[in-house]
Amino acid sequence: MDKSMNILVVDDFSTMRRIVKNLLVEIGFNNIEEADDGKTALPILEEGNIDFLVTDWNMSGMQGIDLLKAVRANPELQNMPVLMVTAEAKKEQIMEAAQAGVNGYVVKPFTADTLKEKVDKVFERLEQ
């Protein structure tokens, strides 16, 4: 796992973006961008400089699940690791995310250790 990778954190609540960003910095990542919605995130992703996407689900313009599906549908982005960090905890939603190709799923509220564990797991599975 390359700690210099570029990460995009997407959440419509600025406090949550700051929390996730700070925790990622704690883990050792330093190149972190933010977007406040799936709609603003997609053009950033399409620029091609993001290596890892961390996204919420429930956003007003474009939901995280739709952003995930858009990423998987784009040949340039389809292999990007995606971690959902969200308050959505319904079984059918988690299954929908899994079927859409999410690499990891963290439910809010979460601890710093949980986030680190899930990030590590995303990249361990990718290396396998």
Residue with token string 């406090």: 15
Q: How far is the CB of 18 from other proteins (least distance, A)?
A: 8
Number of CB atoms found within 10 A of residue 114's CB:
14
* Sequence-distant (≥ 6) Cβ neighbours of residue 69 within 8 angstroms: 100
Taking alpha carbons only, the member of 107, 113, 51 closest to residue 84 is 107
Q: How far is the CB of 5 from other proteins (least distance, A)?
A: 21
Which of residues 8 and 100 has its CB atom nearest to other proteins in the complex? 100
Tell me which residues touch other proteins (CB under 8 A): 11, 13, 15-16, 18-19, 22-23, 26, 57-58, 63, 87-92, 94-95, 98, 104-112, 114, 125
Q: How far is the CB of 123 from other proteins (least distance, A)?
A: 14
